[in-house]
Each structure stands twice: as C-alpha cells, then as structure tokens.
Structure 1
Amino acid sequence: MSDQNRLDPASLPKAWPFEEAAKLAAHVERKALPADAPALLETGYGPSGLPHIGTFGEVARTSWVRQAYTRLTGRPTRLLAFSDDMDALRKVPDNVPNGDMLRQHLGKPLSRIPDPFGTHESFAAHNNARLRSFLDGFGFEYEFASSTEYYASGRFDAALRRVLEVHDEIVAVIAPTLGPDRRATYSPVLPVHPRTGLVMQVRMDGIDPVAGTVRWTDEDGETFETPVTGGHAKMQWKADWAMRWFALGVDYEMSGKDLIDSVKLSGKICRILGGEAPAGLTYELFLDENGQKISKSKGNGISVEEWLRYAPAESLGQYMFNAPQRAKRLFFDVIPKAADEYLANVARARTQEADESAQLANPAWFIHAGRIDDRAGSPLTFAMLLNLASAANADTPDVLWRFIHRYDAAASPETCPMLARLVDHAIVYYADFVRPSKTYREPDARERAALADLAETLRGLEGEATDPDMLQNLVFEIGKRHGFEPLRSWFGCLYEVLLGQKEGPRFGIFIGLYGVAETVALIEAALLRAAAGTASVVAG
C-alpha cells in the first residue's frame, strides 16, 4: 500500500477496530520492527471442547483489528490461531462419547489422549480439526499453531531456558495470588511424568538453568531430572501465556473480562522474561436471556450452529461487531435485529463510496473484508419476512416467494441470493419462535371501528395501483380519524390484533407485500374472531 493511500492516524474512522489498530501500531513502533516485518496477532483456543460462539467472536474481532491495521499502516500482519493442546484434561466434557475411556486419561496432555470419536490420532487432533474446519467455513485467514508441536519441535526451547533463569522472580509474581497450599508448591514449570504421561503439578526440588532441567519428586517418592525443552514439560497457563508472547513476539491478543487479572500477571511475567506484553482489547462476556453469564457447561446460551439455523453468518458477524466492550444478551430473540442491522449497513455502504471515512466505519466493510459484493443486500428486511410468514402462516419458502414476486417481479433466488437465504431462515425462525408465541388480542370498540374503516378503505383500492408510502399515509390518516393518540397505539393494535405479536413492520410496506385484498381478509378474520368472542360472552 502506497503512503498516500494510508490513513491519517489523527483522523481515524469512528470504529473500534481502528482504535485497536492504532494501539497495535503504537506497540509495533515501540518495538521498532522492520517495515516488512508482519505484526503478529494471536487468538487462543482450549481444545478440551468443540469450537463455540466465543471462538468465532474472538477470531472475527481479531481479524477486524488486523484489517484496520493494514488499512491504517500498510504493514503486513499474521494471525495465529493457537491451540493449547498440551494442556492436561482436567474433566470429561459432557458432549463427547466414550466418557469412561477419557476418564482413564485425566491429567494427561490433550494431544496424548485417544480420540473418543475414533476419527483422529488424539482428542486434541480431533478438536483441532474441528477448529480448522470451523474457521475455514467462515473464510478466516489464519495460521494454525499447536502447543504440542511448538513445545516438541524446540520452538519454545530458548524461552523455556529463560524461564528457568528467572524462575524465582516468576514465582514471586504469582505466589501472592494463590492460597497457602498452592503457594507452597507453586512452580511455573509442569513436567510430564516419564512413565505415566501425567502433567505433574509438583514442587521443584531443584532448578538448573545451565542444563535446562528441573528436579522433582512424584507422589511415590521417586525423584526425576526432567529437561524443560523438547516437550518434556510445559508451563502453568499464566506463565505459558507470557512465555508464548515472549517466544513468538506476539503484538496483539484480546481476551474476555474474566481474564483481566490473568492478563496483568502474564504481562508482568513477559516483562521479567525480557519481552513486552502485546496490545489488546478486553471484551465483555455474553449474557443469557435472564442476564446470567453464558456458560458452556450450563448450556444457557446459543451455539453457532443454532444461530446459523436461523440467520446468515453475516448477521452473527454484525452481532459480534457491535460494542464488544459492553455486555450483551445472546439469545434467540437478538437474531432478527442483528440480521436487519447487517442489511441496513450493507445498504448504507452503497451510499458511502464517496465518503471513505464513513465507509471504513461501516461494520459491513469489516464483515466483508473490505469487498462488499453487489448482491450482499436484500430488498426486504428479515423482520418483514417474519411478519409476512406470520400473516400467511407460511410453512415453506414457496409461500413467501409468491408474495415477494407480487412485490418485486424481478426478485428471485438467483438475482437476490441474500434474500433467498433470509427466506429460508425466516421459515425456520417463524416455526420455532414466532408461531408458538403468537397471541391475538381482541380489539376494543374504537379499534373495531378503525379496523372496519381500514378494511373498507382498502377494499376500495383493490385493483388500483398503490405504493407503500401511499398505503402508509392511508393507515396514518385512519388512525388519526379515530382519535388514536399517540399514533403508535394504533399500530400496536394492528400488530397485536392482526399478527398476534407486540411489534411489527412499517404497515404500508406490509400491505404492499402481503396484498391489499389479503390484508382486507386478515382484518375481516380478526373482526370475526372478535365478534365470536363477544357473542360467546353475551351467551354466557
């Protein structure tokens, strides 16, 4: 990228990835890296479980910082997706087969435990393959790194010897954060038992930085001299994180709010080793529908697979882009809003070609890696499709397409691929969430009169040319004529009485899409329900 195409740091686009990119640029400048040396951004993954929505969020957000950094500085980058597959298995996950077999290998590195699925050479290899497939499915650009391979190949050897040279200083940093029992035995080094294969959390009887070994005694009283190099030992995780930053020269890594203290401790250890802690963002955690923290073990959230059942991946990107430093609810009812925010941003990007700063602040620019396809948007919102499905009680995409073709004869799955995806998702979302919760209320006397007036007025328009704005104005005028103040109470009546829900679409667009005659029939059916309910009360 030429110098004239780089952004002026003094006038950054108003988007958090550019703020993070500026932090990364300052970090790289302090390190005085050569101009052609790539900045290294890292994300971490614990392969004791399958990739989840937090994994997507961290890699997506880090990718956006990378994108902004390149646009800001013109310098190259690398993204390392690091798997901590040398960590010991501490408990058997609930969502994997052959739990009894796994239980026999508790305490061993994940990469040295048989695969309970029977498809790979180890449990870690299976989950690492799932991670790579997961990331590849979203089109992320990254390099995969295995902790086991890095330890065994000698990539960490020099850093591990350095850990031994400053062993006591590291202990002095960590010890105050531990309870009395752990403090008495703590060492950043975890040797792997040469016979049992267990990752040993034991007191060190001796440290030899010159030989690169530690001396320790197991629970049977046998003493061992273990090299810390070549995969014969690993680091406790806070020291491991710091050692990795130091060994690899990591420049940027974000982490969750629950790791704030760990980031501080690892940063201190990195400086003791002689390195500089990376720049990074502390992101907030996700909350469930009750405001409780999402937990994989509780299963109180939403999975990536579930999200993708109900909306396109781009909508998940939009959700992750929004305010990462603010806690957000992560439940099924956030999906339609995220989908429509994404569509609105794509539409907005079409008008921002002459305003680079605005375009670079648009989430769609990040979600599409700076290349927004001409067919990325949709002429109809996801909310409108859901309302159409609700009114038509649609159970197949064909039902929605019949209405869509009336609204836009040229629209098709070929010409509007995003619309086609949204239609498919809308049918599923409607069946699972909207239809079961539909509750029609009866209109009061004033509402019945207004609805009858609306039906009669619309009936007079059948066969005539109409447009959404004209229909919207018509609905407004009838609401005013019948004394609805504020007018939102009139629209609330339309949603609750006709659609059985609390919120709804811009009603003029809905009529244009659903059809004038069909809307009249919808109103008449509601009035008949109301009349039947009144008659039953009188008869009672």
Structure 2
Amino acid sequence: MTRPPHDILAAAGAWPLEQARALVKRLEKSGKASALFETGYGPSGLPHIGTFGEVARTSMVRHAFHDLTDGKIPTKLLVFSDDMDGMRKIPENVPDRAALEPYLQKPLTAVPNPFGGDYKSFGHHNNAMLRRFLDTFGFDYEFASATDYYKSGRFDAVLLRAAEKYDAIMQVMLPTLGAERQATYSPFLPISPTSGRVLYVPMKEVNAKAGTITFADDDGRDVTLPVTGGHVKLQWKPDFGMRWAALDVDFEMFGKDHQSNAPIYDRICEILGGKAPQHYVYELFLDEKGEKISKSKGNGLTIDEWLTYASPESLALYMYQRPREAKKLHFDVIPRAVDEYLQFLESYPRSDWKNRLGNPVWHIHAGDPPAPETIGAAGDNAPRAQITFGMLLNLVAVANTHDVDVLWGFIRRYAPGVSPDTHPRLAKLIGYAARYFEDFVRPEKQYRLADEVEAEALRALDAALASLENRDPPATAEEIQEKIYDVGRAVPRYQDLKAKGATPERPGVSLDWFNAIYQVLLGEPRGPRFGSFVALYGVANTRALIAKALSGALKREHEAFLASRLPKSA
C-alpha cells in the first residue's frame, strides 16, 4: 500500500481528514503520546445501522489520523456499551414482551435474554450482536462493557471524585431540569440491594470522605452504599463526562440529539479532572416515513437486512457520504449505494492523489481499496466497464428468473471467460440483486402499454436492432446506444434542439424516449444505460421483449403476478 504525499494529506478536504488534522493539533498541545477514539452503544435494543455507522465513521477518522502522523502515534478505538442502564421500556421487537415486565428498571445485563441461546442476559445478547458484525467487517476495536467497568473498579477513582465534586456537578445539572425533577435529581443512581433495580431517587447524604451515598431503598428503608464497585452508576449525562475523564478519551462522535448536551458532558468531564474530547456531531437517520430510527421501535434497517441485499462496503459508503445531513435509511437507498460504490472504486486507480483522498473508497478501505472488477464484451475495443446493480435488477426482471446460474449464462455470453472465480465481487452482486429484485422491485413494477407514438418508435427500435443481430463480433454497447439515439432523433416527440451540440439536422434526444423504454419494457420509471443493458441481455432477447411489450403480454403477466399476491377471500 502506497501512502499519499504528506502535503496532499495536510490539505485534502474530506471530512475524516479535517477531523484528523484537528486531533493532531489537540495532541500537539497536550503532549499526549497516544490517541483514544471512543464510540458508544446503548444495548436497549438490537444494534441498528446507525450504531455501525458511528464505528465506521470513527474508524475513518482514526485511519486518517494514522496516515497524517505516519503511524508514529498509537491509537485505540474503544466501543463502549452502556449495558448497566436500566431497561426503561420493553422494546417492541422482542419475543414475549410480557415476560420482561418484571425486569423493568433493572440493568440490561440483569434482564433475561428473550431471544434464547447461550447469552446470559438481554444486554449480553445485544452486545454480541454488535460485536458479530463489527468483527465480520474487520474493524480494529476493543469492546468495553459498562457493567464490567463499574464492577471491576475501573471507574472507582473518578466515582470517588464525583462524590467529592457532588455539589459542582449538581450546579451544572440543576439548571437544565424542571422544578419537579430538580427536587429529586441525583447524578448517582444506586442499584437497589432489595429489588436489583436502577433507582432514580434523591440522595439523603453524600459522604465524600467515606465515598458513600445514603438513600431510601425500594422497601422504604434507608440504605448506605459505596459509590465504587458497581453499587451505583451515573445518570447518562454525568456518565458521559465521567467516562471521558476516566478513560482520557480524545475523540468521540455522536448524533445531533446529543448536541445540546455536549457542553454539559464537557463541563462534568472537566470538573472530574479530565479534558473534554474532540467532538463530531452527525445527523440522525430517518425511516421511510421520515421518523428517527430507534433500536426500541425497530424501525429503519438492521445490519443483517442491509447485508442480505448488499455488501458491507456499500453500507460504509452510505455512512461516509454527507454525515451532517439527515438521510433516509430504508431499503430503497440500497441500489444507489451499491452502484455509487462501484463507480467510486472504478475511478480510484485513474485518479491523482488529490482526487483519491476525496474518493470515499480511500476512507472505506483504510487507504488500500481493492482493484475494480471490470468486464468487456468479446471484440469490444471500448473501455471496459462494470455491471451495475441496477443493470442486474433489470436483467433479473426481463429474464424472469432469480436463478443465479441462468444469470451467469447471460453474462458469459456478453463476456466469455468471466466466472465467479475471476469476478467474486460480481458473483456476490448477482446474488444480492436476485434477492433484492424478488423482495422489493418486482412487487412495485408498473408496466404500461405504449401509446401510438411510442409503439411506432419501439417498432423502429426493433428494426434497428435487427440490423445488429447477427454481427460477428457482436455489436458493442456504444454501437447499440447510438442506434437507440438514432431512433429517438427521428421521432418529433423525442427531439431536443436545446441539447448540447444539437442542430435542426441532428437534434438531441430527450429523456422522454428513454423513459418510455423503461416504463414499457422494464416497468420502471428509470433504468440503466440501455445500450449496455441490450449488450448484456442480448439483441435477440431484447427484440423479443419489445414484441412482448407491444402485444400487451408483459403488462398482463405482471398483473397476474400481483393478483397472485393478494390474500384469498374466505
């Protein structure tokens, strides 16, 4: 792996590099000889993609920092799970929700695992689900459990300091609370010796010298507990600051919902003797309704759902792009993310270092992107190209099959010698496309009949393709595309005199011509570059598709498929 020149690294505008440069300056001022990156996870529900995104984005900043410092400053990424939090409500997406009701307000690592298996608690199960994916993706991280850190004494020194600085912490917290909450608030949350619940109760005494708190337990009796050894935890806002101080965290990013609290976290960290870390605030993800995704609701996508239909790299690209803009996180974003990743990967080797550092794949692959997989048709002297996810979705549709072997047959005819062994990324892409088409694309297709002008244009396209059908070597994608343009130019409806370079003798072609092709032949409002698609699907097959569309058979067959999905009346 070749590293980029340092002067280009120092000036590149990609957001991970901007954050890394600020972190370099922070360490230069402090004189600290290592950097700790941290991400947080609340295991109140199964991990969602937003959790993964936080780790992926932080890893991108960490890699940028590593290259900026020539690897001379050691770094560590700590993934911290707040699994000692009380279960305040039962998630909607767990089995037998009623069985968990007796465990409300108990630490998540004390709540039975509703999913079965070997994990001893709900918190342990959810932690394992997070680690499983992080390990699959190959993240370099250390996992930390709040339960383990509190109980093992890792936080004891700072918790004793919190007892000493109790009044100062209260002065930070009380102005942020309403009058009723102020009357009962305490930064310390004792774990009840009687019920095992995390208690939100006022303190009757905080003895800094003894390092203890006194409060009324669930049974009404006054109880005194040490603040050390896992007998208490901190409220979530003080907990943020305490953790930063205890671990000496240098960098942490969090969602916009934390932004207003960041000054509170910082101040408490400083009260407890720490230096607040560098922050990066990202926008929240939304579901298909525009609502914030939530672990407890289970809306939005899960990690496993994305990976059913697309690669981890496409997910990492989605996380990299525009982190400070709210983005919808639903199934319909997957195809574009896949194809954009392929486009970025293909352009990377042809770019200079300045553009490489602005290319997401440099950040996704920690500076060492894999070579793109390209194919070329037999006898094709044009630049080699990639088969896109969108193209495969349409191939699955018109081939009327999700049989992977049949789909490979089309590809081998287009590019002899291509196989799963020579193109393993393409092999996975075919499987993803077949599953995605069957679950999401096919039910939403809307074929329509051609009007008179469209029908005449499609018959002209059929005739133009007939002139290419028996070519040896086969017609290239560019030659086919030019025939499609020529047909459109001859139809007044599709002529575009405003197109660049257009003349009355040779007008441009409007998008209406291609929209008609997509809607009538593919049942889609948009589609791939049609010349490339025809080259892959085959000229003869495309002519048969045109005939089927003009006869109305395509529309009838799809209507029959939709009818078969309707529930049968009793």
Match of residue 469, structure 1, among 457, 463, 478: 478
User: Could you tell me whether the CA contact under 8 Å between 2:449 and 2:555 is conserved in 1?
Assistant: no
1:505 and 2:525 equivalent? no
Equivalences, count: 527
Q: Separation in 2 of the partners of 1:372 and 1:5?
A: 13
Q: Separation in 1 of the partners of 2:9 and 2:481?
A: 45
Q: Separation in 2 of the partners of 1:161 and 1:283?
A: 33
Match of residue 539, structure 2, among 492, 498, 516: 516
> Aligned residue for 1:333?
332
Moved more, 249-258 or 480-489: 480-489
Alpha-carbon deviation of 1:67? 0.7
1:423 and 2:450 equivalent? no
Shift in alpha-carbon separation, 1:6–1:531, aligned structure 2, 3 A: closer
Alpha-carbon deviation of 1:163? 0.8
Q: Separation in 1 of the partners of 2:316 and 2:180?
A: 44
Q: Secondary structure at the match of 1:458?
A: helix
User: Could you tell me whether the CA contact under 8 Å between 1:42 and 1:250 is conserved in 2?
Assistant: yes
Q: Structure 2: which amino acid aligns with 1:494?
A: I
Q: Secondary structure at the match of 2:23?
A: helix
1:235-263 Cα distance to aligned partner (Å, 9 max, x none): 11110110000010001111111111222
Match of residue 43, structure 1, among 39, 43, 65: 39
Match of residue 61, structure 1, among 57, 79, 93: 57
Alpha-carbon deviation of 1:325? 0.3
Alpha-carbon deviation of 1:125? 2.1
> Aligned residue for 2:499?
none
1:168 and 2:178 equivalent? no
User: Could you tell me whether the CA contact under 8 Å between 1:188 and 1:236 is conserved in 2?
Assistant: yes
1:436 and 2:432 equivalent? no
Alpha-carbon deviation of 1:295? 3.1
- TM-score, normalised to structure 1, is 0.93
1:475-511 Cα distance to aligned partner (Å, 9 max, x none): 1111001121342111111111111111011111111
> Aligned residue for 2:381?
none
Q: Secondary structure at the match of 2:139?
A: coil
User: Could you tell me whether the CA contact under 8 Å between 2:163 and 2:207 is conserved in 1?
Assistant: yes
Q: Secondary structure at the match of 1:204?
A: coil
1:298-341 Cα distance to aligned partner (Å, 9 max, x none): 44322222211111111111111110100111121111100001
1:218 and 2:241 equivalent? no
Moved more, 63-72 or 360-369: 360-369
> Aligned residue for 1:309?
308
- TM-score, normalised to structure 2, is 0.88
Q: Structure 2: which amino acid aligns with 1:304?
A: I
Shift in alpha-carbon separation, 1:9–1:239, aligned structure 2, 3 A: farther
User: Could you tell me whether the CA contact under 8 Å between 2:448 and 2:555 is conserved in 1?
Assistant: no
Q: Secondary structure at the match of 2:198?
A: coil
1:271 and 2:278 equivalent? no
> Aligned residue for 1:156?
155
Q: Structure 1: which amino acid aligns with 2:535?
A: G
Q: Separation in 1 of the partners of 2:534 and 2:420?
A: 23
Q: Structure 1: which amino acid aligns with 2:169?
A: I
Q: Secondary structure at the match of 1:214?
A: strand
Q: Separation in 2 of the partners of 1:444 and 1:47?
A: 56
Match of residue 453, structure 2, among 435, 446, 458: 446
> Aligned residue for 2:399?
392
Q: Separation in 2 of the partners of 1:150 and 1:8?
A: 41
Shift in alpha-carbon separation, 1:498–1:97, aligned structure 2, 3 A: closer
Moved more, 418-427 or 481-490: 481-490
Shift in alpha-carbon separation, 1:215–1:531, aligned structure 2, 3 A: closer
Q: Structure 2: which amino acid aligns with 1:490?
A: W
Alpha-carbon deviation of 1:364? 1.0
> Aligned residue for 1:361?
358
User: Could you tell me whether the CA contact under 8 Å between 1:286 and 1:329 is conserved in 2?
Assistant: yes
> Aligned residue for 2:195?
196
Q: Structure 1: which amino acid aligns with 2:487?
A: I
User: Could you tell me whether the CA contact under 8 Å between 2:192 and 2:218 is conserved in 1?
Assistant: no
Shift in alpha-carbon separation, 1:532–1:434, aligned structure 2, 3 A: closer
Shift in alpha-carbon separation, 1:532–1:160, aligned structure 2, 3 A: closer
Q: Secondary structure at the match of 1:254?
A: strand
Q: Structure 2: which amino acid aligns with 1:489?
A: D
> Aligned residue for 2:552?
529
Q: Which runs of 5+ in 1 are unaligned?
A: 534-540
Shift in alpha-carbon separation, 1:462–1:520, aligned structure 2, 3 A: same
Q: Secondary structure at the match of 2:468?
A: coil
User: Could you tell me whether the CA contact under 8 Å between 1:343 and 1:377 is conserved in 2?
Assistant: no
Alpha-carbon deviation of 1:357? 2.7
Shift in alpha-carbon separation, 1:6–1:447, aligned structure 2, 3 A: closer
Shift in alpha-carbon separation, 1:275–1:118, aligned structure 2, 3 A: same
1:452-479 Cα distance to aligned partner (Å, 9 max, x none): 1111121122211311111111111110
> Aligned residue for 1:370?
367
Shift in alpha-carbon separation, 1:170–1:460, aligned structure 2, 3 A: same
Shift in alpha-carbon separation, 1:403–1:292, aligned structure 2, 3 A: same
Q: Structure 2: which amino acid aligns with 1:479?
A: G
Q: Separation in 1 of the partners of 2:27 and 2:549?
A: 65
Alpha-carbon deviation of 1:529? 2.1
1:140-175 Cα distance to aligned partner (Å, 9 max, x none): 110011111111121111111111121111111111
Alpha-carbon deviation of 1:279? 0.8
Moved more, 336-345 or 199-208: 199-208
Q: Structure 1: which amino acid aligns with 2:524?
A: Q
Q: Separation in 1 of the partners of 2:256 and 2:374?
A: 34
Q: Secondary structure at the match of 1:168?
A: helix
User: Could you tell me whether the CA contact under 8 Å between 2:4 and 2:353 is conserved in 1?
Assistant: no
Q: Secondary structure at the match of 1:280?
A: strand
Q: Separation in 2 of the partners of 1:448 and 1:375?
A: 39
Shift in alpha-carbon separation, 1:518–1:11, aligned structure 2, 3 A: same
Q: Separation in 2 of the partners of 1:283 and 1:449?
A: 52
Q: Secondary structure at the match of 1:224?
A: strand
User: Could you tell me whether the CA contact under 8 Å between 1:6 and 1:73 is conserved in 2?
Assistant: no
Q: Separation in 1 of the partners of 2:98 and 2:449?
A: 57
User: Could you tell me whether the CA contact under 8 Å between 2:206 and 2:213 is conserved in 1?
Assistant: yes
Q: Separation in 1 of the partners of 2:264 and 2:123?
A: 27
Moved more, 108-117 or 237-246: 108-117
Q: Secondary structure at the match of 1:30?
A: helix
